[in-house]
């Protein structure tokens, strides 16, 4: 619900913006006065608007501001040996063990096999989790991949042109050699695919089995310097960018 009637139900827009971390109420009022705030696609032209923070689509300078209360959006650096699952009937360590203090109802976005490490997203925002995981949205993911060298020039070319796997062809969006020292080569690979163990299967198919695999990016979110086994809350900008990525 959005309305300019001060007696209507809802929360004043500047209060909602302040609670979402945009800035103080005074700063939020200045943003509104400058015409930099949109609600449900329309520029707000006056102070005093009340909105429902659970349903209103609010943007500042074209960037989505997520105002629903109670949402959790985390980046996790998954260690080797931890399952990409929220439970395991065999008692093995899972993602849930690393985010136990973040609250109930959490989902992990995407998967990394137990032998792989790096970035996972964890959230209780079910629709966002669903869309980020669904192949139709084609969210790009980037990996650092250690393989045995030397690597011929044909390997990056084959990966870009496409490789036939048992469940269909796969083509990477980008690949580059990050470093090469004797028998140790590091590649950076970006692709939209979400099939099971797809990077490992790709590298097997071109004759260079993966020694180590680290996911460093999911869409607009980067692993950065986050330590192994630790989490961090996504910034307001990162959350807004994820929403844009999947048309929310």
C-alpha 122/C-alpha 136 separation (Å) is: 20
SS3 label, residue 217? strand
Q: Is the per-residue pLDDT at 199 higher than 80?
A: yes
Is residue 3 scored above 60 in pLDDT?
Answer: no
Task: Let me know if 97 is a catalytic residue.
Answer: no
Distance (Å, whole) CA 44 – CA 181: 57
Strands (E), the chain: 2-3, 11-12, 37-39, 42-43, 50-51, 58-60, 63-65, 73-78, 107-109, 117-123, 141-148, 163-165, 168-170, 174-181, 184-191, 210-218, 221-222, 231-233
Which of these is catalytic: 113, 125, 154, 173? 113
* Residue-wise pLDDT tens digits, 52-86: 988 888 989 888 888 887 889 999 999 999 999 98
Give the pairing type, strands 117-123 and 210-218.
parallel
Tens digits of per-residue pLDDT, 107-156? 898 889 999 999 999 999 888 888 888 888 889 999 999 999 888 888 99
Question: In this structure, is the dihedral angle defined by the CA atoms of residues 199, 201, 203 and 205, taken in order, positive or negative?
Answer: negative
Q: Helix, strand, or coil here: 115?
A: coil
CA 89 to the chain's CA centroid:
27
Structure tokens at 196: 């099971």
Find all residues with CB under 8 Å of 136, minimum gap 6, and list them: none
């Amino acid at each position: 619900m959005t309305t300019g009637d001060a007696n209507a139900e809802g929360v004043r827009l500047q209060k909602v913006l302040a609670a979402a971390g945009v800035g103080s109420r005074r700063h939020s009022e200045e943003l509104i006065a400058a015409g930099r705030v949109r609600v449900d696609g329309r520029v707000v032209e006056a102070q005093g608007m009340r909105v429902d923070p659970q349903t209103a689509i609010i943007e500042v300078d074209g960037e989505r501001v997520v105002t629903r209360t109670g949402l959790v959006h985390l980046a996790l650096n998954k260690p080797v040996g931890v399952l990409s699952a929220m439970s395991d009937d065999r008692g093995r360590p899972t993602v849930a063990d690393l985010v136990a203090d973040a609250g109930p109802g959490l989902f992990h976005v995407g998967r990394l096999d137990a032998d792989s490490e790096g970035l996972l997203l964890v959230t209780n925002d079910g629709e966002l989790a669903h869309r980020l995981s669904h192949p139709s949205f084609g969210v790009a993911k980037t990996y650092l991949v250690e393989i045995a060298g030397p690597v011929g020039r044909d390997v990056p070319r084959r990966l870009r042109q496409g490789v036939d796997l048992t469940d269909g062809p796969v083509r990477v969006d980008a690949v580059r050699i990050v470093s090469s020292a004797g028998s140790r080569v590091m590649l950076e690979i970006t692709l939209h695919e979400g099939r099971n163990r797809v990077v490992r299967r790709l590298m097997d198919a071109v004759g260079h089995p993966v020694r180590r695999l680290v996911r460093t990016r999911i869409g607009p979110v980067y692993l950065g310097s986050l330590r192994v086994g630790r989490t961090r809350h996504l910034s307001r900008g990162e959350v807004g960018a994820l929403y844009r990525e999947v048309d929310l």
